[in-house]
């Protein structure tokens, strides 16, 4: 477990920021309406959640219990003096798949924000560094820190969308410029990633819609304008994912169509070869019958005449197919 906390005192012109490293350090700063608190807990354990419940007795036990669970769907739950938000960020940690998303759980009140996550989150590190450099961000209100966290999470989706766009171009090139069998594997792999990201982004779009429009005591009306901007960003993400899903469906249809066309070409070639061989087999079958008397049997040039006739038949059939543009 790892605790990082900030207490902002607005007494001075630029305010004073206290950097704290444990939940015990937070207690002296509680109960003061003019103090703005941000507590971030990484890899929370049960004793830590119990201590958090003692510090914030108004937190619902079920919401506190959610801090210990990795797989929680994105949601917004309103309570008397705070809201509980679950958002999911991309996993940029080494040896992890980027779409193994990490849940960011947030308790947001008028004077405090408590965030928790099971693995390090790039968005949390980025916003924490920003608060240390610009304490006024926390001084403007905990909801502005919440906005900064969610905004950073959504912005981190765009490099992944760019990578998906590049993968789409590779798939199109492998289908239309030079057909490659591995295109099918790429299609299904990208389709899996698009579906996984869409499953994460779609409910978060609704969360941002709620935070942008529904009145909460913990969210200032001015901050809702910032949430609307993030809502526009998540709309771009979901619209792009819908577009990729349609393009992948079209690419899969195109792949199947090309495989079918190639199979038809092979079958046509085999049919032409079989059609040419059929009359030759008839001729050789007739002259291969076991008779003592047969026209040309005693002719010393009979074999070559037969070969010439068979070549003429084969050539005539080939020219006929060529004339009909079947070959």
Q: 108, 117, 129: which is closest to 38 by C-alpha? A: 108
Q: What is the mean pLDDT of residues 70-93?
A: 88
Would residue 26 count as lying in a domain? yes
Would residue 13 count as lying in a domain? yes
| Cα 222 → chain centroid | 32
Would residue 189 count as lying in a domain? no
pLDDT band (50, 70, 90) for residue 112: very high
Would residue 162 count as lying in a domain? no
Q: What is the mean pLDDT of residues 238-262?
A: 87
The tokens describing 252, both together, are 């899969």
pLDDT in tens, 261-307: 778 877 877 887 888 788 777 777 766 766 666 676 666 776 777 77
| Containing structural domain, residue 313 | 272-323
Residue where one domain finishes, among candidates 104, 139, 174 = 139
pLDDT band (50, 70, 90) for residue 80: confident
Would residue 36 count as lying in a domain? yes
pLDDT in tens, 313-326: 888 877 877 787 77
| Rounded Cα distance, 87 and 66, in Å | 12
CA 226 vs CA 40, 107, 209, 251: distances in Å:
22, 19, 12, 38
Would residue 208 count as lying in a domain? no
CATH number at residue 3: 3.30.460.20
> Looking at residue 241, what is its pLDDT?
93
Burial 86-125 (b: 16+ CB within 10 A, else e): bbbbbbbeeeeebbebbbbbbbbbbbbbbbbbbbebbbbe
| Rounded Cα distance, 69 and 84, in Å | 15
Would residue 154 count as lying in a domain? no
CA angle 118, 18, 218 (to 5 degrees): 65
Residue where one domain finishes, among candidates 139, 167, 187 = 139
Q: How many domains does the chain have?
A: 2
Would residue 197 count as lying in a domain? no
> Looking at residue 262, what is its pLDDT?
79
Q: Which helix (H) or strand (E) holds 102?
A: strand 102-109
Q: What is the mean pLDDT of residues 121-147?
A: 94
What's the mean per-residue pLDDT of the chain?
Answer: 86
Q: 157, 100, 92, 148: which is closest to 121 by C-alpha? A: 92
Sign of the alpha-carbon torsion through 124, 127, 133, 135: negative
pLDDT in tens, 153-212: 999 999 899 989 998 888 888 777 666 677 888 888 899 889 989 988 999 999 999 999
Residue where one domain finishes, among candidates 139, 158, 182 = 139
Neighbours of 224 (CB within 10 A): 18
Category of 31 on φ-ψ map: left (φ > 0), alpha (ψ -120 to 50) or beta: left
pTM above 0.85, yes or no: no
> Looking at residue 31, what is its pLDDT?
83
């Amino acid at each position: 477990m790892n605790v990082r906390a900030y207490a902002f005192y607005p007494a001075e012109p630029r305010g004073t920021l206290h950097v704290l490293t444990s939940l015990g350090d937070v207690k002296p700063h509680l109960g003061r309406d003019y103090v703005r608190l941000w507590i971030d807990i990484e890899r929370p354990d049960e004793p830590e959640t119990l201590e958090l419940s003692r510090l914030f007795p108004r937190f619902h036990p079920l919401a506190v219990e959610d801090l210990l669970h990795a797989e929680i769907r994105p949601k917004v739950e309103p309570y008397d003096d705070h809201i509980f938000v679950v958002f999911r960020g991309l996993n940029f940690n080494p040896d992890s798949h980027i779409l193994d998303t990490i849940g960011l759980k947030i308790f947001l009140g008028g004077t405090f924000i408590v965030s928790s996550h099971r693995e390090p989150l790039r968005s949390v590190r980025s916003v924490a560094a920003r608060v240390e450099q610009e304490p006024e961000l926390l001084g403007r209100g905990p909801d502005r820190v919440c906005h900064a966290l969610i905004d950073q999470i959504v912005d981190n989706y765009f490099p992944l969308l760019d990578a998906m766009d590049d993968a789409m171009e590779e798939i199109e090139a492998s289908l239309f410029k030079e057909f490659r069998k591995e295109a099918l594997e790429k299609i299904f792999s990208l389709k899996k990633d698009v579906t996984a990201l869409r499953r994460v982004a779609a409910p978060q779009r609704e969360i941002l819609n709620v935070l942008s429009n529904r009145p909460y005591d913990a969210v200032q009306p001015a901050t809702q304008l910032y949430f609307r901007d993030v809502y526009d960003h998540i709309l771009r993400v979901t619209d792009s994912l819908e577009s990729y899903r349609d393009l992948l469906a079209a690419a899969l249809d195109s792949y199947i169509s090309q495989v079918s066309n190639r199979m038809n070409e092979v079958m046509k070639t085999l049919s032409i070869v079989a059609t040419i061989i059929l009359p030759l087999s008839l001729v050789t079958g007739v002259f291969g019958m076991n008779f003592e008397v047969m026209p040309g049997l005693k002719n010393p040039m009979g074999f070559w005449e037969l070969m010439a006739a068979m070549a003429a038949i084969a050539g005539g059939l080939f020219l006929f197919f060529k004339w009909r543009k079947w070959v």
